[in-house]
Amino acid sequence: MENGSGKVLKPMDSEQLREYGHLMVDFIADYYKTIEDFPVLSQVQPGYLHKLLPDSAPDHPETLDQVLDDVRAKILPGVTHWQSPSFFAYYPSNSSVAGFLGEMLSAGLGIVGFSWVTSPAATELEMIVLDWVAKLLNLPEQFMSKGNGGGVIQGSASEAVLVVLIAARDKVLRSVGKNALEKLVVYSSDQTHSALQKACQIAGIHPENCRVLTTDSSTNYALRPESLQEAVSRDLEAGLIPFFLCANVGTTSSTAVDPLAALGKIANSNGIWFHVDAAYAGSACICPEYRQYIDGVETADSFNMNAHKWFLTNFDCSLLWVKDQDSLTLALSTNPEFLKNKASQANLVVDYKDWQIPLGRRFRSLKLWMVLRLYGSETLKSYIRNHIKLAKEFEQLVSQDPNFEIVTPRIFALVCFRLVPVKDEEKKCNNRNRELLDAVNSSGKLFMSHTALSGKIVLRCAIGAPLTEEKHVKEAWKVIQEEASYLLHK
């Protein structure tokens, strides 16, 4: 390879990696050290970067210093600082030293582990760490890799629900005939993440066969088993085929927890694939006192938790367990000549390419393994408990202020609250809450997001960034109160 200046390019030179790697680690360490100096939510306008960067790629090499200068001056202003201790929006996306080092090692090894043979350690480590986390969650044996079950790392909860939906679809179509696609019905509550809707769109489920069952504050937005039973019975009477239920442990809007055991009973007795989305709250269930929220998981066919949310494992690392790996592989496997090898042909190994949508896959288990080994499960439990304690403190602060109310009871580390209506004016109240959110976020001092519950605009304060301490929560509340007081007296 010749780079135009007469020199041959050496894209992976060990000594350059050592030198630049040190510079980059220093750069990132300094970023973390000064992260509180940045506005949490990026304040740039759409298109800002086009004005700052050239129209085409450079013809000749530039230096790392030049690039890092641009990162400082042009990229960081357009970054929303998810790792800031004052990031309370959406759900957290944890980064940690262990997770970071695991990512680095994975990039360093640069393997693509689609089949066992392409890097046996990648497949086997993934099976082992998924078994480890299954044990921490006290998942039933059937989800472990010993028998016909097992775990796999997906890129996201969206991919997890898509692959199990496809597995369930093909399983039912194998028994009722492939022309029955238009009769297949999917069930979920109206609090289920839009990832399920997207999965249904991709999997060819007819939109009119997606039953989005209404929830309300009487169950704290959990799905009522009676509501599922009624819907299933109606569909059966109409000659339709109920085949998939997605329940939630920790909904995106408000951490609602569906009653898994009762829902699972209905699913099991009707031959419905039962998927549990615990993308956010699954992490908390490694603590014995929160394990109750996944009681009933033994009735599920698949279970998903995002280690990249609240488990100190850098994005992306979504953990999916299934009881019946054959259903997945029957739906997703292909066997072209160019990938054939002895171990796969002899059926001696797991080939994760058949458990996911893409062929290629990174060595993601390394970072989860690093997290589990460098921190240990007891540290992870106290990490989660500390966030829940901080959320309780925030909840208390909110409930002591007569201008605010807690909208749904807090279960984990998300607090849903809002400014109360003045003179019962709900519509004005929604606008006021939107204005409050805008004001708070434009301050740059913290970042929260919102949702709607029963038509009410609700502010969400999700505590879970690795650097968040009590002082950040108190400071956030101070900013919210100041902005609220300004709005109420305007």
List contacts with ligand PLP (CB under 6 A): 91, 156-158, 193, 195, 250-252, 277, 279-280, 306, 318
Q: How far is the CB of 145 from ligand PLP (least distance, A)?
A: 22
DSSP state of 2: B
CB 459 within 8 A of CB 436: yes
In the bound state with ligand PLP, the residue whose beta carbon lies nearer, of 280 and 303, is 280
Nearer to ligand PLP, 157 or 294 (CB): 157
Residue 127, both tokens: 């099976």
Closest CA to 285 of 267, 254, 309, 265: 309
- The count of C-alpha atoms lying within 13 angstroms of the C-alpha of 313, restricted to the half-sphere facing its C-beta, is 29
Candidates 126, 178, 67, 91; CA nearest to 365 is 126
The SS3 call for residue 34 is: coil
Nearer to ligand PLP, 277 or 351 (CB): 277
Q: What share of the chain is helix, strand, coil (3-state, %, to 5)?
A: 50, 15, 35
Residue 92 or residue 264: which is nearer to ligand PLP going by CB?
92
* Residues composing the chain: 490
Tokens in use for 105? 């090692």
| Kind of pairing between the strands at 414-419 and 449-453 | unpaired
Cis peptide preceding 316, ω within 30 of 0: yes
398 in Cβ contact with 415 (< 8 Å) = yes
Give which of 99, 150, 106, 105 is closest to 124, Cα–Cα. Answer: 150
Nearer Cβ to ligand PLP (152/157):
157
Minimal distance, residue 217 CB to ligand PLP, in Å: 19
Nearer to ligand PLP, 349 or 371 (CB): 371
Least distance to ligand PLP, CB of residue 252, Å: 4
Q: Smallest distance, Å, CB 181 to ligand PLP?
A: 24
Min CB(188)–ligand PLP separation in Å: 11
Residue pair 281/248 in contact by the 8 Å Cβ criterion: no
**Least separation in angstroms between CB 91 and ligand PLP:** 5
**Per-residue burial over 147-170, b = 16 or more CB atoms within 10 Å of its CB, e = otherwise:** eebbbbbbbbbbbbbbbbbbbbbb
d(CA 26, CA 305): 32
**Which CB, 242 or 250, lies closer to ligand PLP?**
250
Shortest reach from residue 55's CB to ligand PLP, in Å:
33
Q: Where are the beta strands (DSSP E) in 38-149?
A: none
Q: How far is CA 323 from CA 59, 104, 304, 305, in A?
A: 53, 32, 12, 15
CB of 124 vs ligand PLP, minimal distance in Å: 25
CB atoms within 10 A of CB 288: 9
| Closer residue to ligand PLP, CB minimum distance, 429 or 448 | 448
Q: Which of 232, 245, 243 is nearest to 299 (CA)?
A: 245
Query: Shortest Cβ distance from residue 156 to ligand PLP (Å)?
Result: 3
Closest CA to 41 of 455, 443, 467: 443
Q: Cβ closer to ligand PLP: 156 or 481? A: 156
One-character DSSP codes across 192-210: S-HHHHHHHHHHT--GGGE
The least CB distance from residue 146 to ligand PLP, in Å, is 27
Q: How far is the CB of 464 from ligand PLP (least distance, A)?
A: 11
Task: For ligand PLP, give the closer residue by CB, 144 or 319.
Answer: 319
- Rounded to 10°, the helix 157-176/194-203 angle is 40
For ligand PLP, give the closer residue by CB, 156 or 197.
156
